[in-house]
Amino acid sequence: MTTPDTIPAKDFNLGNGQTIRNAHVHLNPGVDELYNDAIRLGEGVKAATGPLTVRTNKTGRSPKDRFIVEDAETKENVWWEGFNVPIAASVFDNLLEKMLKYADGKELFVQQVFAGTDPEHRIACQMITEMAYHSLFIHNMFVRPTPQELQNFQAEWTVLNIPSFKADPAVDGTRTDTFILVNFGKKMIIAGGTQYAGENKKGIFGVLNYLLPAKGVMPMHCSANVGPEDDVALFFGLSGTGKTTLSADPSRKLIGDDEHGWTDRGVFNFEGGCYAKVINLNAEAEPAIYQTTRNYGTVLENVVLDASGTPDLNDGSLTENTRSAYPIDQIANIQPGSVGGIPKNVVFLTADAFGVLPPLSRLTPEQMMYQFISGFTAKIPGTEEGVTDPTPTFSTCFGAPFMPRHPGEYARLLAQKVKDSGAKVWLVNTGWTGGKYGEGHRMSIKHTRALINAALSGELDGVEFTRDPFFNLEIPAEVPGVPAEVLNPRDAWADKAAYDETAKKLARMFRENFKRFESGVDQAVTDSMPNPDA
């Protein structure tokens, strides 16, 4: 077992003239070593079935504590609204200096990895953390270089993540003692105060989201898979909408579950692993993902172990945001190289807790841009303190916290990609039907899969479509394997007047949310908005 005593202390160069003094550095440690070190450091325990299980001081990302250094370039290109908050370069420099001194003599774990499976567009990253569990997460989630690539590895970006280091807001200029600061000039991210490993991957995801549009590449918060006819499908959606579950289809090969780029040649995965939400995961409905929660090498975050040391995926006492981080090759049916051709179908997923959106509808180009910029899903009662009724969540581009540029820039780029490719675009509601949350019921995953399969296979090309009056959405009149009364949400409600009132309420929420974007989009996009007065 490696310990600080067995690793000689030496200065570690971060680049940009920054150095950590007398560090005990584990360079590119493997799975066995990281298991041993995480357990030795008290970060987690090995579950009876094999995964490393950890508990964290924060059970999700801290988007309000993420800042971007404002400089001459970012001042003009970052959309300084929402989650994109500027911070002065001096704040970054002062905090970095404090972190370097704090790290003097510490035991550190360093992974040299790539973000992106396309060699033309990937970035080389040096990921430094004090937590062995974080290093295993990074080992699982990023693209690992070959031995030959490691020999001449030159990092373009550096992430320094020291959870035990906390900022002093009164002195350091942060919002709280937690911080994630992104500096495009120095090509560096520094983070402290949070043990949640997702900050490591989302930090780099945000970097790619800023850099790639300038190269004509569309960065996307989506999963992707490919069918037997080499037909690529993309699945956009926020947490809890089924993005990971629905892309892990046994009849299609998985390209990736969360982050991708769309080039003129096709799509490529940003990652080498998957980060699945596993609360109430069912072994029968989702066997491939369920199996990863039993595998050696997987990291389980905030999953409760029962008395026998077995993960209890139905226990949300620590958080509803329980997670499994595993290498993509733990899924048997994957696409070699995690790359695919030009997409033929684009699917927007939403979990509508109001129960009024159709389970599947076809979007016009203008509706695609509208829905993409809106990025709608809904929170259900009980998931957050104070949430007692279905509450809308609008996250631009289905990933607002990690999209540095203006939403309209991403929407126009996606629209151009869709136009050039001729891809069909669908909106799929994986949420409630027959009533809102607490009155209706969750959409059957069997029906959702049947709807998506019909869309991807072309079975709906000759089907008649009807139009929903409130959201102006085209709904198929029939889909094999799906009862007719399920297809039109109004038909699924016993109380039609209650449906109409709820649909009007959600339509008004859509329109209110979009007011801040109207000046940046074409009139045709604005005209496609829902109509509560229909």
- Count Cβ atoms below 10 Å from residue 39 Cβ, excluding itself: 16
Pairing outcome for strands 273-277 and 44-46? unpaired
Neighbouring residues of 431: CB distance < 8 A, sequence distance ≥ 6: 241, 350, 351, 352, 353, 354, 355, 357, 377, 378, 437, 442, 443
Q: Is 410 annotated as a binding residue?
A: no
The amino acid present at 229, given as its one-letter code, is E
Q: Is 221 annotated as a binding residue?
A: yes
Active site residue 508: no
Which member of 58, 66, 106, 243 is catalytic?
243
Q: Is 238 annotated as a binding residue?
A: yes
> What is the rounded distance in angstroms from the CA atom of residue 179 to the CA atom of residue 342?
38
Q: Is 436 annotated as a binding residue?
A: no
Q: Is 202 annotated as a binding residue?
A: yes
DSSP state of 467: E
Q: What is the DSSP string of 53-115?
A: EE--SSSS--GGGEEEE--HHHHHHS--STT-EEE-HHHHHHHHHHHHHHHTT-EEEEEEEEE
Q: Is 244 annotated as a binding residue?
A: yes
> What is the rounded distance in angstroms from the CA atom of residue 318 to the CA atom of residue 489?
35
Q: 493, 503 in Cβ contact below 8 A?
A: no
The amino acid present at 332, given as its one-letter code, is A
In the chain the first and final C-alpha atoms are separated, in Å, by 69
Q: Identify the helix (H) or strand (E) that includes residue 515.
A: none
Active site residue 202: yes
Q: Is 286 annotated as a binding residue?
A: yes
Active site residue 61: yes
Q: Is 243 annotated as a binding residue?
A: yes
Which member of 202, 362, 417, 436 is catalytic?
202
Q: In what order do the strands lie in the sheet with 10-15?
A: 10-15, 18-27, 107-115, 123-129, 157-162, 188-192, 179-183, 66-69, 85-87
- Count Cβ atoms below 10 Å from residue 287 Cβ, excluding itself: 12
Active site residue 526: no
Q: 361, 475 in Cβ contact below 8 A?
A: yes
Which member of 139, 252, 323, 344 is catalytic?
323
Q: Tokens 């001194």, residue?
A: 101
Which member of 258, 263, 298, 350 is catalytic?
258
Q: Is 175 annotated as a binding residue?
A: no
Q: Is 496 annotated as a binding residue?
A: no
Q: How far is CA 96 from the centre of its chain?
A: 27
Q: Is 449 annotated as a binding residue?
A: no
> What is the rounded distance in angstroms from the CA atom of residue 246 to the CA atom of residue 331?
14
Helices marked H in 242-381? 243-247, 287-292, 365-374
Q: Is 421 annotated as a binding residue?
A: no
Neighbouring residues of 448: CB distance < 8 A, sequence distance ≥ 6: 242, 246, 359, 428, 430
3-class secondary structure, 370:
helix
Which member of 2, 19, 59, 239 is catalytic?
239
Q: How far is CA 366 from the centre of its chain?
A: 25
- Count Cβ atoms below 10 Å from residue 57 Cβ, excluding itself: 11
Active site residue 175: no
Which member of 24, 26, 58, 61 is catalytic?
61
Q: Is 24 annotated as a binding residue?
A: no
Which member of 144, 221, 252, 362 is catalytic?
221
Pairing outcome for strands 267-269 and 311-312? unpaired
Which residues share a beta bridge with 340?
267
Q: 298, 50 in Cβ contact below 8 A?
A: yes
What separation in angstroms does the CA of 469 have from each of 164, 338, 349, 520?
54, 40, 20, 26
Active site residue 323: yes
Please enumerate, by residue number, every residue annotated as part of a binding site for substrate: 61, 196, 202, 323
Q: Which residues are catalytic?
A: 61, 202, 221, 239, 243-244, 258, 323
Which residues are part of a known binding site for Mn(2+)?
A: 202, 221, 258
Annotated binding site: 61, 196, 202, 221, 237-245, 258, 286, 323, 448
Binding-site residue set for ATP: 202, 221, 237-245, 286, 323, 448
